Amino acid sequence: MKALNKAMKMFGKTVATVPLLAIVILSLISGALIFLLSIDSKDVSIRMFFWILPGLFLISFIIILLILFLYKGIKSENVTLRKELADCHEKLNLMINNVTEAVFLMDWNGKILFLNPAWTDITGFTMEESIGREVGDFIYPEDFQINETFIKSVRNETDYIEISVRLKTKNLSFRWVDIAAKKMITRKEVPVIAGRLVDITIKKLVEEELKTKKDQLLEMNRSLERLVKEEVSKNREKDLMLIKQSRQAAMGEMIGNIAHQWRQPLNALGLMLQNIQDAYQYNEITPEYMESRAKKVKELIKHMSQTIEDFRNFYRPDKEKQKFRLEEVIDKTITFVEASFKNNNIELMFTVKNDIYIFGFPNEYSQVLINILNNAKDVLLAKKIKNPRVDIELTGDQSLSSVTITDNGGGIPDQIIDKVFEPYFTTKEPNQGTGIGLYMSKTIIEKNMGGRLSVVNLAGGAQFTIEV
């Protein structure tokens, strides 16, 4: 048998081909014997038969050889295909067994038919513990309804269906997974559900953490908005209080300025009354005398009334911005304070280098000038400066005006010069200053009129600059 197998291998055949070759050999031997026996036959037909018969055997032999050759080729190809199939199967197993995604196969009712090792990595359950059980056994109770709906959806759709659920783990915890599945039909026409699941626990934890942080941030924003509103409300109340105090201070200044403006007319009225009284005692009163004195009294009263009206107009806030001539506003402002300056022997000079018009609130601009001039006057008086002087100078052009107010009061100490525009900051005694004049002045120029108010120290004193 071994020798036969060796012989067969020489032809590339196995022992399975022996019966076929035996038939061929026996046929050839039988044909040869019949041929020898028919040599002496005188019947031509018989002799022809025995001559043809070997040919038939030869043809049969050739056909059998062809069959054997084809069989060899088919078998060789079959071996190659089996080897390739085995290689593919091995590669497929390697991929399925080493991917991080769990691959599963389950029947129409959710019974698990196949799992890869990634399932164990995710849940902790072995494949032996899991295959054959219902997939619902591993779904977190709160997500069970989602799973039921998912399986029904897969049955009715042709494309992949995706969901996110929690799977129970062997250590009594859970893992978040994304599941994608699709219905398929096996070769035996059996419907199954195939898919994969990915562990997204870390992703979910990060999302929950981000959501928590976002909620905290929203709450912080809401708290910040409340704080901002409260601070804005407090600042508004503060501003209203400052405005009220500023108005009260302005009213006090107005009364003081009116008193200075009225002092001379009142003195004149007092002298005129004294003259009338003396004329009456000496019988010097005549109609002409009384008429001239009455006319003079009326002029003085008219002047005093006009002074009140001027101050009323000055302290009446402007409702809308308007174009105004700076020189006129400065001249008018000087008339309000010149009496006070003269009474204190302070020289007030005004120089105009350019005729300029600007757009803004003239009365508020005048208020700023008065605040600065009154501060200069107070400093000059407090320091008892010899030959006190304040110079106002108007320069610039139609695009940018500049008004400087310079005194010779020695300047502002360096340590406080940056604070002079802060609310409630003052170097005066508590009953002499509120500390809001310069603050309101800066607010008027910079916020209301879009300009700039600044101060610097020069050689002999301080210089305020108004740029609009």
pLDDT digits over 137-148, tens only? 898 888 878 877
Contacts of 285 (CB under 8 A, 6+ apart): 276, 279
Q: Is residue 240 part of a domain?
A: yes
Tokens of 325: 């001539």
Check residue 462 and give its pLDDT: 92
CATH of the domain at 179: 3.30.450.20
Q: What is the pLDDT along the chain (468 residues), one digit of tens a residue?
A: 444 444 444 444 444 455 555 555 655 565 555 555 555 555 556 556 555 666 666 677 677 777 777 777 777 777 788 888 887 877 777 777 778 889 899 888 889 999 999 999 999 999 899 999 988 889 888 887 887 777 777 777 767 788 888 999 999 889 999 988 888 888 888 888 888 899 999 988 898 899 999 989 998 988 888 888 888 777 767 766 666 666 566 666 667 666 666 766 777 777 778 778 877 787 877 888 788 778 777 777 776 776 676 666 655 555 578 899 999 999 988 887 887 888 889 999 999 988 899 988 888 888 889 889 988 998 899 888 889 999 999 998 888 999 999 999 888 888 888 888 887 677 665 555 556 778 888 888 888 888 999 999 988 899 999 999
Q: Are residues 91 and 140 in the same domain?
A: no
Compute the distance between CA of residue 65 and CA of residue 78 in angstroms, rounded to an integer: 20
Q: Is residue 204 part of a domain?
A: no
Tokens of 454: 């600044």
Check residue 58 and give its pLDDT: 65
Q: Are residues 225 and 110 in the same domain?
A: no
Q: Is residue 21 part of a domain?
A: yes
| pLDDT per residue as tens digits for the range 356-398 | 999 888 888 888 898 899 889 988 998 888 899 999 999 988 8
Q: Is residue 71 part of a domain?
A: yes
As a residue count, the chain comes to 468
Check residue 16 and give its pLDDT: 45
Q: Are residues 426 and 335 in the same domain?
A: yes
Check residue 289 and give its pLDDT: 79
Range of the domain at 156: 100-199
Contacts of 307 (CB under 8 A, 6+ apart): 258, 261, 262
Q: Is residue 206 part of a domain?
A: no
Q: Are residues 181 and 291 in the same domain?
A: no
Check residue 9 and give its pLDDT: 47
Compute the distance between CA of residue 377 and CA of residue 8 in angstroms, rounded to an integer: 135
Check residue 430 and give its pLDDT: 53
Q: Are residues 163 and 242 in the same domain?
A: no
Q: Are residues 335 and 236 in the same domain?
A: no
Number of domains in the chain: 4
Q: Are residues 228 and 352 in the same domain?
A: no
Q: Could you give phi then psi for residue 191, rounded to 5 degrees?
A: -75, 135
Query: Domain boundary at 316, 333, 356, which?
Result: 316
Compute the distance between CA of residue 427 and CA of residue 46 in angstroms, rounded to an integer: 157
Q: Are residues 297 and 376 in the same domain?
A: no
CATH of the domain at 453: 3.30.565.10
Q: Are residues 451 and 331 in the same domain?
A: yes
Query: Domain boundary at 96, 124, 150, which?
Result: 96
Query: Domain boundary at 292, 316, 340, which?
Result: 316
Which of 13, 8, 2 minimizes the C-alpha distance to 76? 13
Which of 465, 439, 450 minimizes the C-alpha distance to 358? 450
Q: Are residues 338 and 396 in the same domain?
A: yes
Q: Is residue 278 part of a domain?
A: yes
Q: Is residue 205 part of a domain?
A: no
Check residue 79 and give its pLDDT: 78
Q: Are residues 337 and 463 in the same domain?
A: yes
Q: Are residues 331 and 465 in the same domain?
A: yes
Q: Is residue 37 part of a domain?
A: yes
- Across the beta sheet with 462-467, what order do the strands follow? 347-352, 389-396, 401-407, 462-467, 452-457
